[in-house]
Amino acid sequence: MIQAGLIVGVITVVFILGFTLISPFCTPCVAIFMGLGAGFLAGVFDKPLDNSGSAKSGAAAGAIGGVGAIIGQMIGTAVNGLMVGSEGAADIVQQLGLPVDSAAGFDMGYWGGLIGSACCFGLLAIALMAGTGALGGLLWWATVGKKSTPAGA
């Protein structure tokens, strides 16, 4: 499970970083698919002997891979914040016809929202990857594991 989690974690850093540059709202979708992959890959590497073992192994691999999601989220958020900045965000808000009352207040809200959303989406990604990792482990068991495990083992 550690091997599967680390492999998927490295891949997740790259994908989440890229999608965070577009929008942090895309990261939960990426986390779902990466968690499934981590769970299935944990089954391939660990070859658990029963259904519950494959779910546990998949959930652990998904959670380990979720650390990669947090790292990618933080890096992508930092790059996005430096590229757009509070001035760029204020320009976007004004183009939408919304008022920007004070630059200092908007600046504080921008950075607070940026950091807060990165933390929340990163934690959500860990939870999603652990949950879908368990599902990926169960999928491995249903498709491959049950057939490869000898009866009575």
3-state DSSP call for residue 12? Answer: helix
Radius of gyration of the chain from its Cα atoms, rounded to whole angstroms: 20
In the predicted model, what is the mean pLDDT of the chain?
87
Alpha-carbon span 153 to 150, nearest angstrom:
6
Quote the DSSP letter at residue 149.
S
CB 5 within 8 A of CB 65: yes
For the segment 74-83, what is each residue's pLDDT rounded down to a tens digit?
998 888 888 8
CA 44, 48, 52 angle in degrees (round to 5)?
Answer: 120
For the segment 66-111, what is each residue's pLDDT rounded down to a tens digit?
999 999 999 988 888 888 777 777 777 778 887 777 766 777 788 8
